[in-house]
């Protein structure tokens, strides 16, 4: 393996241990729930989910789970629930 690639791999490992370097501004994801698959997105400071609960409440277990999973790289305003450390 080329030495320059080895250096990049090592740098990537270090970066992966420093999540504060990253701030997601948008994302899309497919969430496989207990009953169906749902499309989630975060863009322009707003969450969206294709589940029925989200359409009524503006939040749901799918968006909250994703917020917990990505808490270290989402902007603070993207997290609508307390996240345990």
pLDDT at 9: 93
Question: Is 62:31 a contact under the CB 8 Å cutoff?
Answer: yes
| Torsion 47-52-58-62 (CA) sign | negative
- Whole-prediction pTM value? 0.79
Mean pLDDT by 10 residues, the chain (85 residues): 86 91 91 95 94 95 94 86 64
Question: Is 74:24 a contact under the CB 8 Å cutoff?
Answer: yes
Which candidate, 55, 54, 13, places its Cα nearest to that of 67? 54
């Amino acid at each position: 393996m080329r030495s320059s690639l080895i250096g990049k791999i090592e740098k990537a490992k270090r970066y992966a241990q420093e999540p504060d370097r990253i701030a997601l501004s948008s994302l899309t994801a497919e969430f496989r729930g207990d009953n169906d698959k749902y499309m989630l997105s975060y863009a322009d400071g707003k969450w969206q989910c294709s589940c029925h609960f989200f359409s009524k409440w503006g939040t749901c277990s799918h968006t909250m789970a994703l917020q917990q999973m990505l808490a270290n790289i989402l902007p603070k305003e993207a997290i609508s629930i307390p996240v345990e450390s």
